[in-house]
Amino acid sequence: MHGFWRRFSFKQKLTLMMLFTIASGVVLIGLFFVIYERSHMRDQLEHEIDVVSRVAIAQLSAALMFDDARTLQESVNSLRFDNTVEVACIYAASGELKVHSFPGDNNAVDCPSSLDIIVTGFMGDHYQMRKTIYMDDTLLGSLYVRANLDYVEQHMRRYIYMMLTALAVISVVSLLVAMWLQQVITHSITRLAETAGRIAHQNDYSLRAEKTSEDEIGQTVDAFNQMLAVIEQSDKELKQNKAELETIVSERTAELRTANRELEAFSYSVSHDLRSPLRAIDGFSQALLEEYNDVLDDVGKSYLDRVRAATQRMGLLIDSLLRLSRVTRQEIVPEPTDLSAMARDIVRELQEEYPSRMVSVEIQDGMMASCDAKLMRIALTNLIDNAWKYSAKQAVASVAMGCVDKVYFVRDNGAGFDMRYADKLFGAFQRLHTKEEFEGTGIGLATVARVIHRHGGDIWAESEPGKGATFHFTLG
């Protein structure tokens, strides 16, 4: 019902409500008068039968006393003065039926067989009355009269027809009045709705609704126009701020491009200018060890070995920084990637590099992801290489990779770490183990975090010292 009502416009709803209200009032008033008229007609019929019966009894008393059958018959027949009275009967004091009105009439109604079953009042489709006849306190007999309700029903039908006719006329007039009223009342609302529709379609907040009255609708129009003025001002400020923001973004984009070019130049400078002196230091140190081996004592040789190790470590740091820089700047090209196959390929390379290591490896099948394959290989290489490295001191090393509910993990049973320092894991040059325990530059996990974040994912770790570590990550 609610959905059906929502289909109508405001004008139609207003018209229907007015028609329903007027029709309901007319119907209720009509029902009241119908009920009243029916009751009145019944009372009138009962009164007429009572009056006729009293007049008849005055004539029947003497005839009953002298047992004048002819006079009784004529008096009873006279009661059927119209089609209302169906039958009139006279009973002796003993209850014996003496006279029946028009006994030869085939359509006549039979008299009751006993006075005891006669009850004065309306009985279904007829009215019946019993009156006793006395003469000087002597019971002479009884009079029974039965009347139909045809006249009452005919009168009521005419009355109902009149009421229906009046209802039809009133409904037509009400419809015309309702249409006129709804046009007057809804004109402003319709114009307001049209203005709102134009604003929504054109996004033109300079439009204003027309005010045609000073009533509540007029006040609503004023409030609507004030709201439009506020929105128009806010829209102007928003467009101005948007233009300023676009200018700032353009400037920042240009600055970022310049910074990227400078970073690329710096990367090239680091790669070229720092590597050359490092190679020279390493080369001359090696030359000293080889050509002046007899001259140098063990302390000198140790110093030169430490110089060479430091230069080689510096070279590794430079390579790591350059990789981290490339990861940050490289454009992401997502494509369907088989992470299971990629992980197995990385493990195979590690097994070839460390043939003496015995490591139990578990890689879940069917791990597919939409990601940049090159960057993802860098991230997986660092994670699996860390798991391989930090489990090296275990008697039985194990490395596993899998996926549960789109969360990937790389797990090992290695050295682990204290979760109090977990926030330092993914920062550049942050290490939780010394270089004497495990080699590394502290750049690997920072590189992994940047790859994952550039894919719109997240990375975190769980571990306990001596119980291994598990790195979890998502990809957008």
Per-residue pLDDT tens digits of the chain, which is 476 residues long? 455 556 666 666 767 777 777 778 777 887 888 888 888 888 888 888 888 888 888 777 878 877 787 888 877 777 776 678 888 888 888 888 888 887 666 666 788 888 778 888 888 888 888 888 888 778 888 888 888 887 788 888 888 888 888 878 877 887 777 777 666 666 667 777 777 777 777 777 676 766 666 666 677 777 777 887 787 788 788 888 888 888 888 888 787 777 666 666 666 666 666 667 777 787 777 777 778 877 778 787 788 778 777 776 666 666 666 665 666 666 778 889 999 999 998 898 888 888 888 888 899 999 999 988 888 888 888 889 888 887 878 878 889 999 998 899 999 888 777 777 667 777 555 554 445 444 545 567 888 888 888 888 998 888 888 788 888 999 87
Q: Could you tell me which of 121, 114, 107, 71 has the C-alpha nearest to residue 92?
A: 114
- For 181-194, give the DSSP string: HHHHHHHHHHHHHH
Q: Could you tell me which of 369, 367, 326 has the C-alpha nearest to residue 476?
A: 369
Rg (CA), the chain: 56
| Token output for 473 | 């990550």
- Cα torsion 287, 288, 293, 297 to 10°: value is -160
Give the residue from 120, 149, 169 where a domain finishes. 169
Strand partners, 141: 92, 133
Cα–Cα distances (Å) from 174 to 25, 125, 187, 268, 352, in that order, read 12, 38, 19, 91, 98
Laid out side by side, the sheet with 126-135 consists of: 97-100, 85-92, 138-148, 126-135, 121-123
| pTM (predicted TM-score) | 0.42
Give the residue from 169, 194, 220 where a domain finishes. 169
d(CA 232, CA 218): 21
Strand partners, 408: 403, 473
For 196-201, the CB contacts below 8 A with 24+ separation are: 196/224, 199/228
| Token output for 382 | 């660092």
Residue 212 lies in a domain: no
Q: Are strands 459-463 and 407-412 parallel, antiparallel or unpaired?
A: unpaired
| Token output for 301 | 């040789």
pLDDT of residue 437: 46
| Token output for 229 | 């003025």
d(CA 134, CA 57): 9
Backbone angles phi, psi at 89, to 5 degrees: -135, 145
Contact criterion met (CB below 8 Å) for 97 and 89: yes
pLDDT of residue 433: 47
Q: % helix / strand / coil in the chain, to the nearest 5?
A: 60, 15, 25
Contact criterion met (CB below 8 Å) for 142 and 90: yes
CATH number at residue 30: 3.30.450.20
Residue 215 lies in a domain: no
Q: Are strands 469-473 and 368-371 parallel, antiparallel or unpaired?
A: unpaired
pLDDT of residue 381: 86
Q: Could you tell me which of 78, 45, 50, 33 has the C-alpha nearest to residue 151?
A: 45
Strand partners, 446: none
- Looking at the structure of the chain, the number of domains it has is 2
pLDDT of residue 11: 63
d(CA 305, CA 311): 10
Contact criterion met (CB below 8 Å) for 304 and 288: yes
Q: What angle do CA 373, 376, 382 make, to 5 degrees?
A: 140
For residue 1, the one-letter residue type is: M
Q: Please name the residues in contact with 310: beta carbons below 8 A apart, sequence gap of 6 or more.
A: none
**Domain of residue 417, residue span:** 334-473
pLDDT of residue 439: 55
| Token output for 450 | 């940047």
Give the residue from 147, 169, 191 where a domain finishes. 169
Residue 140 lies in a domain: yes
Helix (H) or strand (E) segment spanning residue 36: helix 10-65
End-to-end, the C-alpha distance of the chain in Å comes to 46
Contact criterion met (CB below 8 Å) for 22 and 172: no
Write down the H helix ranges in 330-432. 339-353, 373-390
CATH number at residue 376: 3.30.565.10
Residue 375 lies in a domain: yes
DSSP-derived 3-state class of residue 437:
coil
